A and B are shown apart, each in its own frame.
Chain A
Amino acid sequence: MPQLDFDIITLGHGSGGLLTHKLLDSGVFDVLKNPLLDARHDGAVFPVEAAQRLAFTTDSFVIAPIFFPGGNIGEIAVFGTVNDLAMCGAIPRYISLAFIIEEGLPMTEFWEVLLGVKSAAERAGVHVVTGDTKVVERGKGDKIFINTSGIGIVHEQASISLSRVAVGDSIILSSSIANHGIAVMAEREGLQFESTITSDTRPLNHAVKRLLDEFGASIHLLRDPTRGGVATTLNEIARDTKLGINIRQKPIAIDEQVYGVCEILGLDPLYVANEGVFVAIVAADAAEAVVERLRGELGSEIGGHEAAVIGEVVSEHPRQVVLQSRIGGRRVVSMLVGEQLPRIC
Chain B
Amino acid sequence: MTAEAVAIETVRRRRSAFRFAAAPLTWIGAALIALIIVAALLAPWIAPYDPLEQSIADRLMPPSAEHLLGTDSFGRDVLSRLIHAARISLAVGVLSIALAMVAGCAIGITAGWIGGWFDSLVMGALDVLMSFPSLLLGLMVVAMLGPSLEHLVLAIAITELAPFARVARAPTLALKERDFIEAGRALGLSELRIIVVHVVPNLLGDVVVVASLWLATAIRTEASLSFIGLGVKPPTPTWGGMLREGFETILDAPWLSVAPSLAILATVLALNMIGDGLRDAVDPRLRRD
A and B: bona fide binding partners: no
Which residues from chain A sit less than 8 Å from chain B, CB to CB?
A: none
